[in-house]
Structure 1
């Protein structure tokens, strides 16, 4: 409902108006503009200017969008963990997941250096992946800073493993572009095989689960990512032994 850019554009009066609305959305959705002005001690002109900054022609359009937002929020349904896992295996068992995992394992086995990257929850799993690979004998690094200095000997014959649910995170895309320009082969694990990250990868392993959001947070299950990471690591171990 309120983007970071729009909030940043609010002046002091508009910020106080935003604070009131965000805490009283159900009430504001049915108020008249004069009632809101009296409650927040601002002028109707301030309210109309506030609405225009949210791309609304007036207060009536703002209330329509607010009601739609509230209805959408009420329909939020969080699936059970069991449902998400069953969905993953039902969709991937018919595909080429095992072949993709084996292909990735062979490429990683032959690489001298392995780098994991990701941001947010994907970054947490990237760090876990680097540790899990290292535990099974394939030393790996997790790098979250795109400007982290990487010596040329680590870039030679290297594989970068990128994790991203959407496959569109600008931070990860930019990071991958830098590493690809340095000659690193890219393996990505994403939820969408048509995403930007998937397209710039040498190998993409999609896991096909329905993305879920709660308010502004992406709560899509990450269990498939853990399964894929561990499967690749174990396959590398088998190839080495």
Structure 2
């Protein structure tokens, strides 16, 4: 309920109802239709039209669905992810994971150009990664625009580090594939080695943390592992580069 498509259908009077309901959800669940109409200074017909545009048969159904929406919002408990972090640090203490990190760091240390790509929350982490790499004289360009042109003329050792929680976001996969076609070595950090992004990458670092989605479909998957991997890569790449 209250999706973008539904709100887009509303006229000015119905938008007034919408704004009032959002600010007074719990009160509205107990209100009679006439009371709500008086509060918003509209007719009961406007209230009914609003309900229909919210895909409800009438005011009674609207109140039931509003009540369920409130219950769902209250039930969205956010779990403590300390146990996940401990499990992650146990998993990375393996020869295979260390080998992936070292190989990725070597690519970064020897890179002629470094690009870091991600959108949404991963884009913010990409910005942090570019700055952190640059602090170690590993100058990196951060790109979060999915429509930004992919460079065509690059050195043989150009790399792009792609960040994605699921490894299945369409626009990210399209860009990663374009980078690969243009001669970049593709490195990725994602939750699963079975993801499409991991499979098309030259090197994929997977941190195997469960993807967490709230009922509102917001992704709240912890990104602590990604930050740890980014910082480890930067430090190791710097060490390798200064030894050359």
* Interval containing the TM-score (normalised by the shorter chain): 0.7 to 0.9
- Name the structure 2 match of 1:122: 122
**Alpha-carbon distance in 2 for matches of 1:137, 1:30:** 62
- Name the structure 2 match of 1:236: 237
Distance of aligned partners of 1:61 and 1:129 in 2 relative to their CA distance in 1, 3 Å threshold: same
* Worse-superposed segment, 92-101 or 25-34: 92-101
The Cα of 1:150 is off from its aligned counterpart by 5.6
- Name the structure 2 match of 1:224: 225
Distance of aligned partners of 1:69 and 1:143 in 2 relative to their CA distance in 1, 3 Å threshold: same
Distance of aligned partners of 1:196 and 1:12 in 2 relative to their CA distance in 1, 3 Å threshold: farther
- Name the structure 2 match of 1:203: 203
The Cα of 1:142 is off from its aligned counterpart by 0.9
The Cα of 1:101 is off from its aligned counterpart by 2.1
**Alpha-carbon distance in 2 for matches of 1:110, 1:227:** 21
2:120 is the alignment partner of 1:111 = no
**Alpha-carbon distance in 1 for matches of 2:91, 2:9:** 44
Mapped contact 1:87–1:209 kept (Cα < 8 A)? no
* Worse-superposed segment, 11-20 or 127-136: 127-136
**Alpha-carbon distance in 2 for matches of 1:233, 1:124:** 17
Distance of aligned partners of 1:136 and 1:43 in 2 relative to their CA distance in 1, 3 Å threshold: same
3-state SS, counterpart of residue 225 of structure 1: helix
**Alpha-carbon distance in 1 for matches of 2:181, 2:11:** 43
**Alpha-carbon distance in 2 for matches of 1:194, 1:30:** 49
Distance of aligned partners of 1:51 and 1:236 in 2 relative to their CA distance in 1, 3 Å threshold: same
- Name the structure 2 match of 1:10: 10
- Name the structure 1 match of 2:55: 55
**Alpha-carbon distance in 1 for matches of 2:173, 2:45:** 42
**Alpha-carbon distance in 2 for matches of 1:35, 1:194:** 55
3-state SS, counterpart of residue 26 of structure 1: helix
3-state SS, counterpart of residue 152 of structure 1: coil
* Worse-superposed segment, 184-193 or 209-218: 209-218
Q: After superposition, give the CA deviation of every residue in 1:210-229 in whole Å (9 maximum; x if it has no partner).
A: 52659786443322111011
**Alpha-carbon distance in 1 for matches of 2:22, 2:47:** 14
**Alpha-carbon distance in 2 for matches of 1:138, 1:161:** 13
Structure 2 gaps of 5+ residues are none
Mapped contact 2:76–2:215 kept (Cα < 8 A)? yes
So what's the TM-score if we normalise by structure 2? 0.78
RMSD across aligned C-alpha pairs, in angstroms?
Answer: 3.2
Mapped contact 1:117–1:142 kept (Cα < 8 A)? yes
**Alpha-carbon distance in 2 for matches of 1:201, 1:22:** 45
Structure 1 gaps of 5+ residues are none
**Alpha-carbon distance in 2 for matches of 1:185, 1:167:** 17
The Cα of 1:135 is off from its aligned counterpart by 2.6
- Name the structure 1 match of 2:26: 26
**Alpha-carbon distance in 2 for matches of 1:238, 1:50:** 63
**Alpha-carbon distance in 2 for matches of 1:51, 1:155:** 59
Mapped contact 1:78–1:212 kept (Cα < 8 A)? no
